Amino acid sequence: MEARMHKKRLFSVIAATSAAALILSGCGGSSSSTSGVPKVDMMKSLGKGEGQVNIVAWAGYVENGSTDPKVDWVTDFEKSTGCKVNVKNGATSDDMVALMKTGEYDVVSASGDASLRLIYGGDVAPVNTKLIPNYADIFDNLKMQPWNSVDGVAYGVPHGRGANLLAYRTDIVKPAPTSWGSVFDVNSPYKGKITAYDSPIYIADAALYLMKTKPELGIKYPYALDQKQFDASVELLKAQKPLIGEYWGDYLKHVASLKSGATVLGTTWQVNINLAQGEKTKVEGIKPVEGSTGWSDTWMISSKAKHPNCAYQWMNHIVSPAANAGVAEWFGEAPSNAKSCDLTADKNHCATFHASDDAYWKDVYYWNTPTEKCLDGRKDAKCIPYAEWVKAWSSLRNA
Amino acid sequence: MIDQISDSLHKRPRLRLTALLSAPLLWLVVAYLGALATLLISAFFTIDSFTGNIVQQFTLTNFSDMFTDAAYRNVVLRTLGIAIAVTLMCTVLAIPMAFYMAKVAKPRTRKLLVALVLTPLWASYLVKIYSWRSMLEPRTGVVDWLLGPIGIHSPGFGITAVIIGLTYLWLPYMILPLFAGMERLPNNLLDASGDLGAHNWYTFRKVIFPLLFPSLVAGSMFTFSLSLGDYITTQIIGGKLQMLGSVVYQNFSINLPFAATISFIPVTIMGIYLYLVRRSGALENM
Amino acid sequence: MTISRGARYALTSLMGVGLAFIYVPLSVVIINSFNASRTFSWPPEQYTTIWWSKAIDNPGVREALRWSVLAGLLATAIALVLGTCLAFAVSRYQFFGREVISLLVVLPISLPGIVTGLALNSAFTRQLGVSTGLLTVVVGHATFCIVIVYNNALARLRRMGTSLQEASMDLGASGFTTFRLITLPNLASALFAGALLAFGLSFDEIVVTTFTAGPGIQTLPIWIYNNLFRPNQAPIVNVVAATLVVISIIPIYLSQKLSQDSTSGGRI
């Protein structure tokens, strides 16, 4: 009798728990929205700062002197606004989208392959550019672009832009490479010491190479790939895999590998080259003849931001001439604020990074979000959406 | 007042039992199992491919994706293989060490040896793995520096490095239950076996090993489960190696339902393992 | 016990090899904390103590230490209460599902940390809407610390038996007084050993913590993880690690002395 009573109690506890779990799981989460942009309110006026701001940023965008004591545009911001900055580096755009979805961060520096997803996912709010005085000085050809605005509504503040480069150890890789072919060459003498970026967006790099070397495939834009073009790109990456030593996402690990020689060749960012050179590594980065993928980043504010006033103050600060110049030089990119060009320590910085040289950017293909509707305008083909890129990349990495 | 309460509790053993059990069970069953159940349930949902938001409709797509894609089969097998290899290496290293500590060392030395084996447990996991990065760096690492002259070179970063690293990390967890088990082995049993004519290896196989089996299982439970879910070691010394843990980690933020689907695998494996272990009585032996 | 000389020799050398295997990497860490090169080129060309002074001044380390200690103490306290309650229930009573308890209590520690962390994270952030922070970290840690205290307490309670308790009550002491004056003192050393190990586990935990700590909290392992590869901070990480190794001798020695009936100290 006792045993049966206990048994019943145990079962009812288990049943209740399962029921509760089922009900709870039904309550959480939000419904999807592909039919349009979710309505999110825009901030109307600035109030007092909340005392802190949580930022998701690319490595090197939010420096407070701990990486290099001379590189700091955060401390003065904290002092003048009272907003303490907590920064989380996102390794890839996927990382950043995911972090923003948690609702725990206020601001994100999103590249084009993240920004649209964030907008359509309802994770970011439109930006009231009237509340950002420095917005007026930003280069016009960066404002209201397809990746940072929808239907004439601005969703972010342009940050800066750059190209992905081909890094190589000048003392080990001879002769100096000039083409992306050097990382795809199955007979490469540097097999096992080549690196690639650990994100599905890297498929576009393969597509870019095929665009220039196999014109018969008909690729016009690396983010608009139909099934045949996509499969060809993935095949190229599969052939590349034995050459790869490490796929990098953590920029510091990547720099450490460049320094130790575990990596001697592969895709990188200018900031990594700068850091490695600072560690006395003989390394250089070039934009190969085929051109390169790149990014044009936008600061966006979370739709669930807990510290919106500090967030707006940060966005205004980071595109101010001095701060923007600081980031652009440290990271190695073209600034977005036209006035920054006068403030860079290296007077040639803007020229070197082609801040106003439109010709340079002609063969730089900013990260973008592939969709089923072909981004190159083709009406007769169906392109592979980003979700498939993710699956293909995962298969590639795990095989 | 307290005496009154304790007296009334004394008369009602079931009330006492309920009072004792309620808090821990609430925590473990409702909070922990509940969270686990919610996670595993989300394996049956999918995400909207463009926005990344979770679509709460029951579907088996994730599971079919996981089973049909050869890449995931490979990851599972590879991870299992690594876990087994690590367990074996730990066993091979731990048995002689535990035996020495339990039977050969003098009592004073024994305490010292136990302390020496335990100390690394407190050194941070991350630092230990990072030190292996230093050790295994090709050409410039410590292994090449120490053993290069005798012709042994670092295997570089990859699956071998991960197995070595994980063995290193979990070795104390294998040594300690084995040590406890060996301590309980009566010396006269071993002497008797020797007196009856068995040489050392035979004694080990037929007398020591069977008695040690529960301790071995207890230790292996940790080396196995810890290796099964690991992703940090792979990140640091694995080169481009992917393990189950890596797949879960990479997916948890962008595709939680799929991460939950993958999680089914280690949960199932450990569930089976625990069930088998329970039958061998090792749970009492930890 | 008689062991042949050959066997003794073999065992001793194997023990030596094992200890070398364990301690060479740790020595590398300690040596590197004095390595003047910021990227630990090996062998060190120059030695310096500058990293040690920088570590003491480093605010990141101090804050991370504070969080780790706080989370550890809270998690251990919770684990102590819950684990002891459970141990009492299992050792002193018969009830349906008693065998399942040992399985249940071991589950958080036998499932890979990533699954536990993922489950707790999604439960907290999606279902309950609680944002991650100290509370969630403590909940995560306490969950897998319960089993440590439970096992230690259970082993001691089983050894203790009930005779002393019964004698005390026969002599007229109330249940509570018996608990206070008889049971608890006998249990104390096992609980202390369990608490020590639980604290150690919580202090070093990285996987579950990554999922349950939000943007504001950096426990020591998380701080190490974030700074492992940063050229300026990596040497400080080594210093922190070296310190941990050296300091940990104290609790190891203590827990050794106290847990005579569960020498399988270690993780459980």
Q: Is the pLDDT of residue B169 over 90?
A: yes
Q: Which residues of C168-200 are buried (b: 16+ CB within 10 A; e: fewer)?
A: bbeeebbbbebbeebbeeebebbbbbbbbbbbb
Domain span at residue B20 reads 2-42
Q: What is the pLDDT of residue A23?
A: 42
- Please state, in angstroms and rounded to a whole number, the distance separating the CA atoms of residues C10 and A123: 64
- Please state, in angstroms and rounded to a whole number, the distance separating the CA atoms of residues A65 and A87: 13
Q: Is the pLDDT of residue A7 over 60?
A: no
Q: Are residues B78 and B198 in the same domain?
A: yes
Q: Which has the higher per-residue pLDDT, C247 or C71?
A: C71
Q: Is the pLDDT of residue A320 over 90?
A: yes
Give C-chain residues touching B245 at CB under 8 angstroms.
112, 114
pLDDT in tens, A298-308: 999 999 999 99
> Which of A32, A89, A259, A303 to mutate against chain B (most B CBs within 10 Å)?
A32
> Which of A13, A62, A104 to mutate against chain C (most C CBs within 10 Å)?
A104
Q: Is the pLDDT of residue A373 over 50?
A: yes
Percentage of chain B exceeding pLDDT 70: 96
Confidence of residue A234 (pLDDT cuts 50, 70, 90): very high
Q: Are residues B201 and B251 in the same domain?
A: yes
Q: Are residues B34 and B138 in the same domain?
A: no
pLDDT in tens, C48-95: 888 888 888 888 888 899 999 999 999 999 999 999 988 888 888 888
CA distance B172 to chain A (A): 29
Confidence of residue C260 (pLDDT cuts 50, 70, 90): low
Q: Is B92 on the interface with A (CB under 8 A)?
A: no
Average pLDDT, chain C: 82
- Please state, in angstroms and rounded to a whole number, the distance separating the CA atoms of residues C27 and B237: 19
Q: Are residues B105 and B242 in the same domain?
A: yes
- Same topology between domain A52-161+295-360 and domain A165-268+369-398: yes
Q: What is the pLDDT of residue A108?
A: 95
**The residue to which tokens 């079931």 are assigned:** B14
Q: Report the residue from C2, C120, C263 with minimal CB separation from B180.
A: C263
Q: What is the pLDDT of residue B173?
A: 87
Contact between B126 and C221 under an 8 Å Cβ cutoff? The reply is: yes
Q: What is the CATH number of the domain that holds B156?
A: 1.10.3720.10
How many structural domains are present in chain B?
Answer: 2
Residues 6+ apart with CB under 8 A from A359: none
Closest CA to A311 of A178, A143, A131, A159: A131
Give B-chain residues touching C99 at CB under 8 angstroms.
278
Superfamily of domain A165-268+369-398: Periplasmic binding protein-like II (3.40.190.10)
Count how many pairs of residues, chain B against chain C, have C-beta atoms within 8 Å.
296
pLDDT in tens, B65-116: 888 888 888 999 999 999 999 999 999 999 999 989 888 888 888 888 888 8
| pLDDT average, residue stretch B166-176 | 91
Q: What is the pLDDT of residue C1?
A: 64
Percentage of chain A exceeding pLDDT 70: 91
| pLDDT average, residue stretch B233-252 | 89
Q: Which of A20-29, A93-102, A329-338, B8-17 has the lowest mean pLDDT?
A: A20-29
Does residue B197 belong to any structural domain of this protein?
yes
Q: Report the residue from B7, B100, B249 with minimal CB separation from C11.
A: B100
pLDDT in tens, B220-240: 888 888 898 889 999 889 988
Q: Is the pLDDT of residue C8 over 50?
A: yes
Q: Is C94 on the interface with B (CB under 8 A)?
A: no
Phi-psi region of B239 (alpha: psi -120 to 50; beta: other; left: phi over 0): left
pLDDT in tens, A99-115: 888 888 999 999 988 88
Q: Are residues B18 and B74 in the same domain?
A: no
Average pLDDT, chain B: 85
Q: Are residues B23 and B85 in the same domain?
A: no
Q: Are residues B242 and B137 in the same domain?
A: yes
Q: Is A394 close to B250, i.e. CB distance below 8 A? A: yes
Q: Is the pLDDT of residue C266 over 70?
A: no
Q: What is the pLDDT of residue C224?
A: 86
- Please state, in angstroms and rounded to a whole number, the distance separating the CA atoms of residues C192 and C14: 34
Q: Are residues B177 and B91 in the same domain?
A: yes
Q: What is the pLDDT of residue A200?
A: 92
CA distance C243 to chain B (A): 9
Superfamily of domain A52-161+295-360: Periplasmic binding protein-like II (3.40.190.10)
Q: Are residues B102 and B31 in the same domain?
A: no
The helix/strand count (H/E) of chain C reads as: 13, 0
pLDDT in tens, A38-56: 888 888 888 888 999 999 9
Upper half-sphere CA count for residue C188 (Cβ side, 13 Å):
7
Q: Are residues B133 and B234 in the same domain?
A: yes
Confidence of residue B281 (pLDDT cuts 50, 70, 90): low
Q: Are residues B144 and B255 in the same domain?
A: yes
Q: What is the pLDDT of residue A1?
A: 46
Q: Which has the higher per-residue pLDDT, C42 or A314?
A: A314
pLDDT in tens, C90-136: 888 888 878 788 788 888 888 888 888 889 888 888 778 777 788 89
Provide the residue ranges of all domains of chain A, joining segments of one domain with +: 52-161+295-360, 165-268+369-398
| pLDDT average, residue stretch A307-319 | 94
Q: Whole-prediction pTM value?
A: 0.82
Q: What is the pLDDT of residue A27?
A: 38
Residues 6+ apart with CB under 8 A from A88: A54, A55, A56, A57, A99, A105, C215
Q: Are residues B11 and B140 in the same domain?
A: no
